[in-house]
C-alpha cells in the first residue's frame, strides 16, 4: 500500500462511525455499568444490555449449556445461563494453598465441577451461577488472585516461558511478565467496587477523579495479548501475540534485555478476506531498564492508531498493516524516548512441554504433567482433579500452568520427589501410555460452553488423536510427532494457525484442514482441504503421513517442512497478501 493510501486509510478509521463497543466503554462509569442491578435481578441467570459485555472487562463471559439449549427452548425456558471466569495469572504460577481454594470452589459451586487450564497459562471456571459471582471474586481476592483484564479490550494475562530449569533467568523473565501485567492493568476501582465491596458508584466525585493514563477511558480498540519467551523454548507461541518479548542474556547468563516483536494474531473469519492470521514482526532490541517503557509505548500506539470502527480489523496486526511497520516503530520510539537497537541473535528450537521430570540447575526437580486439552476433572478412570488436590496438600514448591495447557509441579526437593511421583501416578497425572503425538496435540474448548463454536474441539480431540496415533504407527513414525491443533471456529483459540496440522471448525462435524506450519511456530499453515469430516481428514493424512514417512529427506525433517518442500502446499510467506491464495 502506498504512503498516501495508508494516510487515507488511517483517516478513514478515525472518521468513520465508532463501533457500539466504543459507546458502551465510554458510558460505563469506568466499567461498572449497572452490573450490581443485574446481580440483584432474580428473573434471569444472565446480564442485560451493556452489562453482558462489561463483565468481560472483569474476566467473565456469559454462556449457557449448548447441549441442552434446544431442549430448554422447547420447554419455553431461558437457556441455562452461567458465567465463565478466567483468572489473571501472569506466567501461570500458582501456589498450592491457592489451588486448594480454587478446587473447593469448583467442586461446590460450578455447574461443570472442573478446572480448565487455558493455553494462556491460567485457569477457567465454567458454569458459575450469577449468584456465586461475588463470593467467587471475594475468594480469589482473599488468596491474592483476581480476574481483571483477562478478557475484553485490554492487555490480557501475560505469558512467560515455563522453564524452571534455568531458574535464575526464568525468575528474571517471569518478574518482568508480572510487572508488565500489573503496569498495563486498568487503574480505576470498577472491579473492586462491583465484585469485592459491592459498592454502587454512579456519578460521584470519586469517579471524576479516576483516570486511565495508559488505557484511556475507552480502553484499547480490541483485545491485546503479550508474551515473554526464553529461547530456545517457544512454548508461548511468541509469534502469535500482539506484543512479544524475547529474552536476551548477557555473557553471565543474566537477563540483559529483550527483542520486541509486534502484530502476531491467529484469528480470521471464514470467507472474509480482510481478515487473516499473521506472525509478529521485529521492532528491535531494548535493554532491560527501557522494557516497560517499550511495552507502554506499543500499547498506547495501538490505543491511538487502532481501528475503532470495525472490530474485525482492530487488532495490532491490522494497525501495522495500515501504518506500515516503520511508521509504527517510529511512533513507539517517540513514545518510549529511545530508538530500538538492532534485533539480537536468538534461536527457537522447540515448542512443546518436557513431559515428565527435569532437573533444574538449582538442584530442584520439576514434574510436567500432561493434561489433555487442559481439562482437570474427576473421571472414573482418571481422577485428575483429586490428584491435583492431593498434590496441593503436600507440595512445598509451586505449580506452573503452561501455554500448552499442561501443569508443572515445580521446585520439588530431592527428598520429596518419590512422594510427588507416587501421587501423580496414582491419580493419572503420569500416564506412560500417552504418546508423543498426543502430547503435541491441543484443542480449544468449543462445545458445550463456547457460544461461538461451529464444530467440536476439546471433545473431538481424544478420538482424533487415537486415529492419528494409528496412522503414525502404520507408517512407522510413532517415535516422532506432528504439532496438531483443533480449533472449533476460525477465531483460532486452539492456535491451529501455528500448527503443522490445523483443523478449523466450519460446521457441526466439518472442518477446514490446514497444513504446512513449522515446529518452531514461525509459519502459518495454508488451507489444504475445505469443509470435510474428521474421517475424511484422517484419510487425507494417511496419504500425507505415508509420503512423509518415506520421502522425508533426513530423519529430522518435520511434517510441516516436508509438505512445503515436496510442493504439496505453498508456504504462507506474507499472510496479508497470500493467506487467502488457494494453493
Positions in the binding site for ligand SF4 (CB under 6 A): 444-446, 450, 452-453, 457, 487-489, 491-494
Q: What is the β-pairing status of strands 281-287 and 255-262?
A: antiparallel
Active site residue 225: yes
53 phi and psi angles, rounded to 5 deg? -85, -35
Q: What is the β-pairing status of strands 484-487 and 441-443?
A: parallel
Q: Could you give the CA distance from residue 111 to residue 360 in angstroms, rounded to a whole number?
A: 39
Q: Could you give the CA distance from residue 547 to residue 566 in angstroms, rounded to a whole number?
A: 9
At 443 the three-state DSSP class reads: strand
Chain position carrying cell 500425507: 544
Q: Could you give the CA distance from residue 325 to residue 306 in angstroms, rounded to a whole number?
A: 14
Cα distances (angstroms) measured from residue 514 to each of 194, 250, 497, 570: 44, 39, 8, 11
Shortest Å, Cβ 18 to ligand SRM: 17
Which one of ligand SF4, ligand SRM, none is in contact with 487 (Cβ closer than 5 to 8 A by kind)? ligand SF4
* Cell digits of residue 573: 510467506
Residues across the chain: 583
Shortest Å, Cβ 351 to ligand SF4: 19
Active site residue 311: no
Q: Could you give the CA distance from residue 413 to residue 430 in angstroms, rounded to a whole number?
A: 18
Active site residue 160: no
* Residue (of 269, 217, 311) closest to 20 by Cα position: 311
Q: Could you give the CA distance from residue 378 to residue 295 in angstroms, rounded to a whole number?
A: 41
Q: Could you give the CA distance from residue 395 to residue 96 in angstroms, rounded to a whole number?
A: 7
Window of 4-12, 15-23, 265-273, 327-335 that interacts with ligand SRM by CB under 6 A:
265-273
Does the footprint of ligand SRM cover residue 445 (CB under 6 A)? yes
CB 488 within 8 A of CB 497: no
* Cell digits of residue 557: 525433517
Does the footprint of ligand SRM cover residue 156 (CB under 6 A)? yes
Could you give the string, one character per residue 51-90, with x where binding to ligand SRM holds by CB under 6 A and - elsewhere?
A: ----------x-x--------------------x-x----
- Residue of 261, 392, 450, 564 that binds ligand SRM (CB under 6 A): 450
* Residue (of 5, 53, 14) closest to 309 by Cα position: 14
Shortest Å, Cβ 223 to ligand SRM: 6
Shortest Å, Cβ 490 to ligand SF4: 7
Active site residue 450: yes
Shortest Å, Cβ 488 to ligand SRM: 8
Q: How many helices (H) and strands (E) does the chain have?
A: 20, 22
Does the footprint of ligand SRM cover residue 124 (CB under 6 A)? yes
Which one of ligand SRM, ligand SF4, none is in contact with 449 (Cβ closer than 5 to 8 A by kind)? ligand SRM
- Residue of 51, 147, 157, 181 that binds ligand SRM (CB under 6 A): 157
Could you give the string, one character per residue 133-152, with x where binding to ligand SRM holds by CB under 6 A and - elsewhere?
A: -----------------x--
Shortest Å, Cβ 516 to ligand SF4: 20
Q: Could you give the CA distance from residue 109 to residue 198 in angstroms, rounded to a whole number?
A: 20
Could you give the string, one character per residue 285-324, with x where binding to ligand SRM holds by CB under 6 A and - elsewhere?
A: ------------------------------x---------
Does the footprint of ligand SRM cover residue 267 (CB under 6 A)? yes
Catalytic residue (choose from 444, 485, 523, 526): 444
Does the footprint of ligand SRM cover residue 492 (CB under 6 A)? yes
Active site residue 489: yes
- Residue of 493, 544, 569, 572 that binds ligand SRM (CB under 6 A): 493
CB 125 within 8 A of CB 106: yes
Which one of ligand SF4, ligand SRM, none is in contact with 488 (Cβ closer than 5 to 8 A by kind)? ligand SF4
Amino acid at each position: 500500500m502506498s504512503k498516501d493510501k495508508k494516510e487515507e486509510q488511517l483517516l478513514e478509521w478515525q472518521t468513520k462511525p465508532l463501533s457500539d463497543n466504543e459507546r458502551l466503554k465510554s458510558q460505563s462509569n469506568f466499567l461498572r455499568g449497572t452490573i450490581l442491578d443485574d446481580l440483584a435481578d432474580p428473573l434471569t441467570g444472565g446480564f442485560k444490555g451493556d452489562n453482558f459485555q462489561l463483565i468481560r472487562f472483569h474476566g467473565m463471559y456469559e454462556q449457557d449449556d449448548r447441549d441442552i439449549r434446544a431442549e430448554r427452548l422447547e420447554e419455553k425456558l431461558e437457556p441455562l445461563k452461567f458465567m465463565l471466569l478466567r483468572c489473571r495469572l501472569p506466567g501461570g504460577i500458582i501456589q498450592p494453598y491457592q489451588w486448594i481454594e480454587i478446587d473447593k470452589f469448583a467442586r461446590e459451586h460450578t455447574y461443570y465441577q472442573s478446572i480448565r487450564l487455558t493455553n494462556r497459562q491460567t485457569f477457567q471456571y465454567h458454569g458459575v451461577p450469577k449468584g456465586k459471582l461475588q463470593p467467587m471474586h471475594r475468594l480469589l481476592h482473599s488468596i491474592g488472585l483476581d480476574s481483571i483484564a483477562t478478557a475484553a479490550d485490554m492487555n490480557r494475562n501475560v505469558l512467560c516461558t515455563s522453564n524452571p530449569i534455568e531458574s535464575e533467568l526464568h525468575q528474571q523473565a517471569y518478574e518482568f511478565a508480572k510487572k508488565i501485567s500489573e503496569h498495563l492493568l486498568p487503574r480505576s476501582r470498577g472491579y473492586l467496587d462491583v465484585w469485592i465491596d459491592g459498592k454502587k458508584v454512579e456519578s460521584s466525585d470519586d469517579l471524576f477523579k479516576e483516570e486511565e493514563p495508559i488505557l484511556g477511558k475507552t480502553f484499547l480498540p480490541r483485545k491485546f495479548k503479550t508474551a515473554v519467551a526464553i529461547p530456545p523454548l517457544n512454548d508461548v507461541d511468541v509469534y502469535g501475540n500482539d506484543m512479544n518479548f524475547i529474552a536476551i542474556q548477557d555473557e553471565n547468563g543474566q537477563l540483559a534485555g529483550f527483542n520486541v516483536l509486534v502484530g502476531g494474531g491467529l484469528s480470521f473469519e471464514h470467507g472474509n478476506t480482510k481478515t487473516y492470521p499473521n506472525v509478529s514482526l521485529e521492532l528491535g532490541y531494548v535493554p532491560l531498564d527501557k522494557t516497560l517503557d517499550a511495552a507502554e509505548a506499543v500499547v498506547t500506539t495501538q490505543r491511538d492508531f487502532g481501528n475503532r470502527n470495525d472490530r474485525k480489523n482492530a487488532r495490532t496486526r491490522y494497525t501495522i498493516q495500515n501504518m506500515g511497520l516503520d511508521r509504527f516503530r517510529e511512533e513507539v520510539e517517540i513514545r518510549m524516548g529511545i530508538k530500538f537497537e538492532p534485533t539480537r541473535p536468538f534461536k527457537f528450537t522447540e515448542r512443546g512441554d518436557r513431559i515428565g521430570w527435569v532437573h533444574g540447575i538449582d538442584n530442584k526437580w520439576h514434574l510436567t504433567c500432561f493434561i489433555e486439552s487442559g481439562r482437570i476433572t474427576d473421571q472414573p478412570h482418571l481422577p485428575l482433579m483429586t490428584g491435583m488436590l492431593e498434590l496441593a496438600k503436600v507440595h512445598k514448591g509451586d505449580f506452573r500452568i503452561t501455554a500448552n495447557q499442561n501443569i508443572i509441579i515445580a521446585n520439588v526437593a530431592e527428598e520429596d520427589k518419590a512422594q510427588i511421583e507416587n501421587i501423580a501416578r496414582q491419580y493419572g497425572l503420569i500416564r506412560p501410555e500417552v504418546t508423543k503425538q498426543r502430547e503435541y496435540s491441543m484443542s480449544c474448548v468449543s462445545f458445550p460452553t463456547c457460544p461461538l463454536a461451529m464444530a467440536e474441539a476439546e471433545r473431538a480431540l481424544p478420538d482424533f488423536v487415537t486415529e492419528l496415533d494409528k496412522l503414525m504407527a502404520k507408517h512407522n513414525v510413532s517415535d516422532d510427532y506432528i504439532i496438531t491443533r483443533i480449533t472449533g471456529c476460525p477465531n483460532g483459540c486452539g492456535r491451529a494457525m501455528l500448527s503443522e496440522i490445523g483443523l478449523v471448525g466450519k460446521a457441526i462435524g466439518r472442518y477446514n484442514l490446514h497444513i504446512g506450519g513449522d515446529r518452531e511456530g514461525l509459519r502459518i499453515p495454508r488451507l489444504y482441504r475445505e469443509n470435510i469430516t474428521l474421517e475424511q481428514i484422517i484419510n487425507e493424512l494417511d496419504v500425507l503421513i505415508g509420503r512423509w514417512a518415506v520421502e522425508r529427506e533426513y530423519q529430522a525433517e518435520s511434517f510441516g517442512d516436508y509438505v512445503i518442500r515436496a510442493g504439496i502446499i505453498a508456504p504462507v510467506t506474507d499472510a496479508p497478501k497470500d493467506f487467502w491464495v488457494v494453493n
